């Protein structure tokens, strides 16, 4: 949150919008053609089913993401070094489910499980798959909320998150995530293409979404919520706003809560 304030202040000082400020400092960073060619020659065996032009496009996106990510980190460091920041302790943290876009289950369910995940993280994959298996058992008393939290050390995580958000634009967030997270060590391009084709996604809409700023805005919003409540790793799982240590504890906490759920129709949960 502080970083967002500093960026807004820096943009205002230059008399430009935040979008224009970030475009100038971050988004306009380009990758030289020779760097793309060099990376393609080094990794072309990873793209056996892709045309060279398509593979190079994916490589360029990855390189741009890395360099822009480093540039954003350096920009924030620069702004923080020039600012006087006073931290005020607050007893209240934001609701990790508030404003989330991707929710499975009854929106009014009395128990909320929030999963902050990184699609490239194997432990996130395990948590997601297990939660999707358990959720039908808990219906309609539990809702599952997914928040994106791609880690910078995972070079493919942001690309996967972008595809998931854009699949969601066409009503396929959950089916896309199910397919992607069922694929071990998915290739950045080949498996993403197979999955989107199998789901019958509109190619033009998908491409337009991937190139638009709204996709990153959704992901950045999730990351901001995570940072505000202290998320540092993936998976991070919370039940009704309280973090649990792992899947075993999650199951125990949820089952305990379900025993306390009282519904007018049955006076409790029939299990």
Range of the domain at 14: 2-82
Is the domain of 164 the same as that of 235? yes
**Mean pLDDT for the chain?**
84
Give mean pLDDT, residues 240-258. Answer: 90
Please report which confidence band the pLDDT of residue 189 belongs to, taking 50, 70 and 90 as the band edges: low
pTM above 0.85, yes or no: no
Q: What is the pLDDT of residue 166?
A: 95
- Is 96 among the domain residues? no
Please write the tens of the pLDDT for every residue from 94-141: 789 988 999 999 988 999 999 999 998 889 999 999 999 999 999 899
Q: What is the pLDDT of residue 92?
A: 63
Name the percent of the chain lying above pLDDT 70. Answer: 89
Give mean pLDDT, residues 25-44. Answer: 88
pLDDT at 156 over 50: yes
pLDDT at 201 over 60: yes
User: What order do you get walking across the sheet with 102-104 strand by strand?
Assistant: 102-104, 142-148, 111-117, 236-239, 242-244
Q: Are 222 and 103 in contact (CB under 8 A)?
A: no
**Residue 112: alpha-carbon gap to chain centroid:** 18
pLDDT at 175 over 70: yes
Q: What is the pLDDT of residue 144?
A: 97
Is the domain of 55 the same as that of 134? no
CB burial class (10 A; 0-12, 13-18, 19+) of residue 178? middle
Q: What percent of the chain is helix, strand and coil (3-state, nearest 5)?
A: 55, 10, 35
In degrees and rounded to multiples of 5, residue 193 shows phi and psi of -65, -45
Is the domain of 66 the same as that of 106? no
CA distance 209 to 230: 30
Q: What is the pLDDT of residue 59?
A: 87
Q: What is the pLDDT of residue 265?
A: 47
Secondary structure (DSSP) of 30-80 = ---HHHHHHHHHHHGGG-TTS-HHHHHHHHHHHHHHHHHHHHHHHHHHHHH
CATH of the domain at 226: 3.40.30.10
CA distance 50 to 69: 26
- Is 159 among the domain residues? yes
- Is 90 among the domain residues? no
pLDDT at 89 over 60: no
Is the domain of 158 the same as that of 76? no
Q: What is the pLDDT of residue 107?
A: 87
- Is 271 among the domain residues? no
Give mean pLDDT, residues 35-54. Answer: 86
- Tally the domains of the chain: 2
Q: Are 7 and 79 in contact (CB under 8 A)?
A: yes
């Amino acid at each position: 949150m502080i970083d967002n304030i500093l960026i807004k202040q820096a943009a205002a000082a230059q008399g430009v919008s935040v979008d224009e400020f970030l475009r100038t400092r971050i988004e306009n960073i380009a990758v030289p053609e020779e760097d793309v060619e060099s990376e393609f020659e080094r990794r072309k065996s990873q793209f056996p089913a892709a045309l060279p032009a398509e593979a190079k496009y994916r490589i360029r996106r990855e390189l741009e993401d890395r360099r822009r990510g480093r540039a954003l980190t350096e920009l924030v460091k620069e702004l923080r070094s020039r600012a006087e920041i006073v931290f005020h302790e607050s007893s209240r943290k934001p609701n990790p489910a508030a404003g989330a876009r991707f929710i499975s289950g009854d929106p009014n369910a009395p128990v909320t499980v929030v999963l902050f995940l990184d699609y490239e993280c194997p432990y996130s994959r395990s948590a997601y798959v297990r939660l999707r298996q358990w959720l039908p058992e808990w219906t309609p008393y539990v809702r599952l909320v997914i928040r994106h939290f791609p880690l910078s050390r995972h070079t493919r995580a942001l690309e996967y998150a972008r595809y998931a958000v854009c699949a969601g634009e066409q009503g396929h967030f959950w089916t896309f995530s199910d397919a992607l997270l069922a694929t071990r060590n998915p290739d950045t391009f080949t498996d993403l293409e197979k999955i989107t084709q199998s789901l019958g996604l509109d190619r033009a809409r998908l491409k337009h979404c991937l190139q638009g700023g709204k996709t990153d805005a959704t992901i950045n919003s999730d990351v901001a919520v995570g940072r505000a409540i202290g998320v540092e790793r993936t998976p991070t799982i919370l039940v009704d706003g309280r973090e649990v240590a792992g899947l075993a504890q999650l199951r125990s906490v949820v089952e305990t809560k379900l025993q306390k759920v009282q519904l007018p129709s049955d006076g409790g949960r029939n299990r």
